[in-house]
Amino acid sequence: MNDTVVTVVGNVATGVEFRESATGGVARFRFAVSARRWDRQKETWADGPTSFYTVCAWRTLGANLAASVSVGEPLVVHGRLRVREEERDGQRRTFVDIDALAVGHDMTRGTSAFRRVVRATPSSTERHGAATQGQEAVPRAARAESAGQARQVQGQLSVPGADPGGREEPVGVGAGAGA
């Protein structure tokens, strides 16, 4: 099967909704992408039309997204493009979705603090069962627990070089940097 794989840069337009399903958790959110073009006549940058996509992320990626992403944050989304048509109220509508393979903050527009998710070590029966079913070997309860812990920590970690009072300090300056 030939998939159309895309990478889009934009902003989170809605809150991330995370739901558990039979195949693992799934996160969904709307993603806004606006093209910026140079206007030669006005000699300024101008926003073009905005395209909206529904982004779906499954299993661990979905749980991590729900714990890490808020409305308005700039992201880079890489995934499979799906275009579908539905009829609603007698009108035919087209929807464009992206099944995310990888998502990250757009580092050209800010900083981010990465935190690795700590997972429980699965028993040999869980590993064997997951391997035969083609699923990851992390129990659903552990995924939900780690997503909950990440949500709890969100906003409590500081960015290197900034203090809680909002004053910025260069990285490597101040206490703990040999001073």
pLDDT tens for residues 119-178?
Answer: 777 665 555 554 444 444 444 444 445 445 444 444 444 344 444 444 333 344 444 444
Six-digit token string for 176? 């703990």
Residue type, 45: W
* In 40-175, beta strands by DSSP E: 44-58, 74-88, 91-105
Global pTM reads: 0.63
Provide φ and ψ at 142, rounded to 5°: -65, -40
> What is the C-alpha separation between 121 and 126, in angstroms, rounded?
10
pLDDT at residue 5, as a whole number: 97
User: Which residue shows structure tokens 């500081």?
Assistant: 158
Residue type, 1: M
> What is the C-alpha separation between 22 and 142, in angstroms, rounded?
15
> What is the C-alpha separation between 46 and 23, in angstroms, rounded?
43
